Structure formats: C-alpha cells, structure tokens
A and B are shown apart, each in its own frame.
Chain A
Amino acid sequence: MSHHAPQGFVRKYIFSTDHKVIAKQYLFTGLAMAAIGGFFAYVIRSQLAWPGHAAVGYGVVSANGYNTLVTMHGTIMVFWVAMPVLLGAFGNFLIPLLIGTDDMAFPRLNLMSFWIFFLSSLVLIGSLFVPGGGSAVGWTVYPPLSAQASYSGGMWGVNLWILAVALEFVSFLMGGINFITTVINRRAPGMTMFRLPLFVWEEIVAAIVFLLSVGPLVAGAVMLLLDRLAGTGFYLPSRGGDPVLFQHLFWFFGHPEVYVLLLPALGILAEVITANSRKALFGYKMIVWATIAAGLLSFVVWAHHQFIAGIDPRLATAFSLTTILISVPFAITIFAFVATLFGGSIRFTTAMLFAIAMIAEFLLGGVTGIINGSAAADIYVHDTYFVVAHFHYALFPVVFLAPFAGLYHWWPKMFGRMLDTRLGIAHWLGTLIFFNMTFLPQFNLGMMGHHRRIADPTAFDFLRPGQHLQVLSTIGAIGMLLAQLPFVVNVVWSLVRGRSAESNPWKATTLEWTVSSPPPAENFAEVPQVHRGPYDYSPPGVGDDYIPQNSAPDGDRPGSAARSDPSDLEPVPAE
C-alpha cells in the first residue's frame, strides 16, 4: 500500500491505475454505448411502428439494415453496457472500498483491462462502417448464416464483430481475475468472507461464473472465424461440420452470462435496500449459499435455448427441469430482499425507488421465464415477441434499473456531490411508465404468434391486427428515451453545481462511507479494522440506528448478523 498518488493529467485521468478512476472510465464508456444502443432501439421501434417511413435522425431502414440494427442493439446492451457498468464500473469502484483496501490486487492489469475494453468498443463501432455494413446475423451469430459471407452479405462486418467480442472477453477475463484475487487477498483485517457486503459476494460469484463459462465460447468464436477466413468447416455440414455445435458453445456461455449480469445487480439491491430500510439483510448467509447454488446451476441450463433447435427431444425435459429449478435460488434471494423490508423504517430515496422498481419489474421477467422454460410452451413462444418482452423485463431491470439505483446511491461517494431528488423522481417515474408501455404490449404480440427479427410486420396478414400494439410499444420506447433527459440534466448539474456530499449521506454501515466523498487517492488513511458484519442497522440497545463495520465493539453491544457463534445472536433486551 505504498504507491503515491500519480501526478500529471494523463497518469491521473487517462492511463490511471486508480480503481476509482478506472471505474468512472468504465461508467462513462458504458453510458455512451448505452446512448448508441438506445438510439438503435429507437430506430428499430420506429421502423416496426411505421415500416418503410424514414426514422427521424436515421433515414429509411433497409431489410438488411434492420438486421444490423437488431444485432448491434443486442450486442451493445449486453456486452458494452451491462458488463462495463455492472462489473467494470460498480465492481471496480466498490470492491476495494467495501473490503477496506487501497486498490485492486493488480492495478496495472486493471488499467489494461479498461483500455482493451475501450479498444473493443472502437472496433465494434468501426465494424458498422466497413464495406457491406455491420454484422446482420444476430447477436447469437448462429452459423451457417454467420459462417459464410455469401449467406449474409458483408465479410468484415462479422469478422470485426467477432474480433470486438473477443477483445471484450479478454478485458473482462482480466478484470474478473483481478476481482477474485483482490477479494481473496486484500480484505482488511477482520473482514472475513461472511462479513463481506453481499455486493462483493455477488461480484466474485459472477466473475467466477464468467471465467468458467467463457472459454468454450472463445473456442467457438475462433472456429467460426476460421470457417469464415481459412475455409474450415466446423459448422458447415457440406464440409462435415455441425451448426448445432456452435449453439451449444454459445449458450454454454450465453446463459451463465445472464447471471453474470444479474448477480451484481442483486448485490447493488442488497446494499441500497438495507441502508434505506434501516434493516439487517434478511438471511445473509442463506442468500450467499443461494447465490453459489445459482452459479453452479447456471452451467446446466443452456440447452433451454435449443428445445426446438434440433437437439435430441429426449434431452429437452432434463434441461427444462434444471431451468425451472434455477428459479428457486433466485426466488430465495428476491423473497429475502422483500422480507428485509418487513419491520423496516423505509426511506424513499431515489436509489431506493429504483431498487424497488427493479424488484417489481424483474418479478414479471422471472415469472414469464417459466413459460419459456417449459419445453412444451416454448414450442409456441420461442422466437416470438413473447420472448422479446420476457427478456426485456428480465434484463432492463438488471442492466438499467439496478445500476440507476446504484448510481443514485453511490454518486455522492464517486463524485463528492449530491444529485437532485426531484429530477431523480422524474427520471424514475418516466422510465417506469414508458418501460411498461413499451414491453407489456409485446407479450400480446407474442401470443398472436408474432415472430422476432422481421423488419415489416405489415407484410404478414396475420400480424396486421396487432399493428396498433407495435405503435403503442414504439411510443413507449420514445418516451423511455426522453425520460432519461432528467438524468442527464441531473448528472451534469451535479458535477457543475451540485451540493457537496458528506462522507456518509445515507448513514450506511459499509466501509466506503467511512472515508471522505470522493475517497482520497489511496482510500483509507490507515488500514481499517473490521469488527462486524455489513448490515448492523437498528441493532437493539444502541442509540444510532446503524453501526459502521469498523466500529469497535464496546462492552456488550449486541451481535452482528455475520458472527459465527449462534449464541451471540440471542436477542438482547432493549434498555
């Protein structure tokens, strides 16, 4: 813990090794990519509501252009928004602070992770401008469509897409190793594994799941590139290959990836909900074990994406069963968050409003997932708008609502300035109303049989009666984008004129709130000594309604949630 605060603009703000600076770099890159992904969503929606009419700000959407937009929207939102924001920004900023250390275990590796990620973003955006246009084969890049340029048009659009994704994976592999090493090796004295804030658990389980699942997909992507460039035939039946092989490799990664995103989002919720309901987390250890169980189960559910995709139908029931089972650990986690509210003293900060919204909306994503998870029902809903609505109800809360909760919560810590609450509530309300307006109609479209990834629904007689729902959905999407304006204004205003933040504006227990806002270059003036678990809110017999993790026990102060000896947890009569 002896490196000095770097001098000079470039070392301090661009090629910095400070985890807090790197976190902000991930954050702003992720938000910029979200603006691009959101713009593509708007163009897609405009085309679907008014096919053939020029989308304002883009122009007329061609059939292949539509496929490119759909491909890029999905790719950007999953790999270039969700990953950098949930892992890159929140993971980097919070992990060293929450565990009480000065930086990541490998600060220079951290710097390299970000810059490789940044390079991957440039490659991805560059891929849109090569001859033949960007990749139009879907974010799942199924071969043979993706394996031969003759099937899908452009050559370099897909090649660069694969390169960009590979670079992105390299970046997050290094980042994940850094997270895991940091948590194992750099915890402050007294910070046992079961005193870690839940956010840290969720981040490291996510990092481990990513680490173990990404290998097969990298191999799969290399084989795909060879098929395209070197004339091999891993996925081409005419050369002895099998296209379904790629689907297995893709989803062996692709489904765990969903949980790689979900877990950090749940971690954010745990911190925001406990601090704002002034309650200890309900069943901390139970949630940790449920998270680990979900991480393990996530490796045996992948083929539910392939029920109707040519796998042996006898396999379907097994994967249907594991898929439906994985609802249990997440049910435990969500129920525990709801139970945490019981008996609380709930403070509706903007962060808390977003956290509640995340649970309320995610529930719908969760229950509709059961329909997809049933192999029989999947016959009908697969590749329809029902699935589109389902995964937006699952992913939008994860990728946007939870990070917004986290941003409103930790913004004062990150930037040393408060955000405006009225603008925050306007942002929350607008986002929620228009989000539901966008995606609720899509469940109905799916039930009509409306299939995905078609540029012009009016070309099909049986879809025309649902066109008004497409229009409604598009109005919702435009509203949802406009609803982000209060957020932009809030952020800019806060950075320029915002009220200074004190070190612990929410009266929270975890270590990041024990240092100034923003924290100094090496976080802690001296290594903190941790004496208790992370959620000592409203313990009996104490004047304040929270005890920071580094607060030494004096006398017979009642136990913390994470003490190992159950006898410590006997209720102590209040004075």
Chain B
Amino acid sequence: MTEYLLIIVGTVWVNNFVLSQFLGLCPFMGVSRKLETAMGMGLATTFVLTLSSVTSYLVHSYLLVPLELEYLRTLSFILVIAAIVGFTEMAIRKASPVLYNVLGIYLPLITTNCAVLGVALLNVQESHDFIESALYGMGAALGFTLVMVLFAAIRERLAAADIPAPFQGNAIGLITAGLMALAFMGFSGLVKY
C-alpha cells in the first residue's frame, strides 16, 4: 500500500513528468493560455495516459513477451496510444464540442505527446506490474494536470501584467516554466520513483 502511495507522490511531485523529466512540453506551452482549456487538456491527457499505460502493459506482457517480439515495443505502443487518442477525441467531440474546438490540433497531438509514450516505455523499463503501471500512468497524468493548471493560472495573470516588450508572450512563459521547475526541485530526493 505504501509503495503505491509512493508511486503517486513520486510521479505527481518528485519526478513530475513536465517539470522534472521535461516530457510533454508541447501541450504545456500550447494550451495553457486559459485555465479552462488547460483543465480540459489535463483531463483528456489523464484519461489517455492512464488507459494507454494499462493497455500497453497488457500488450507488452501478454503479447510481446510470450512471442519474444520485444523489439516491436515502440511500434505497438504507438498503435495503442493512437487508438486511445482517437477514441478520446470522439468522446470529447460528443460530450463537449466547445472543448473539442478549443483544444483543436492539440487533441490529436496527444498521440505524439512524449509523456504518454514515455510512461509506457518507463513502465517496461522499471518492470512495473499491472497495478503499478496503472498508478504510474495515473500519477504522471495527475502531475501533468497539476502543473498545467498551475501554469495556466500564472499565465492568466501574466496576460494582465506589465511585461517588458522583449519578454512578452512565450518568452515569459518559458521563464515562468523554468522557475516552476526550480520550485519543483524542492521535492527531489523525497522518493525514488
């Protein structure tokens, strides 16, 4: 039980995928201009990450390992992720057309979000079992959502702030992200994961 808790804490705070491992920076910079959008993106990614983490674990340990086809790992993981993203896209389009329009190209781009493939591959590398994989995926996604929401909230305030001309727009965004990463370094060394 403690171990599972540590996985969650580890992936959300200590080894946050965005701010410590620098995975998934594209939606982090791309859809963080508005709080609602960032939340929507966070939830969509949470769904995709958890599901793809579990599914790719199943594909790896029940299909690839018994057939000794581990070299197909990346290919089949991408296949799994693409299918899940396609499904998520349909579900969001049905449930919330506004969110669908706002997320736009970033929704299908979850497929190429390196955090998603990263989680699937790290699961294999760290030889997680089924529950650990699910928690690892969910923790990574929660961490992603957390920093997305924090960053979007900061950027909303930055939009109204008096920023010198050379720093306006993405420049101040990147500096903010860097400062956030520094702050998250305060968690480092707490847990192994």
Q: Do A and B come from one complex?
A: no
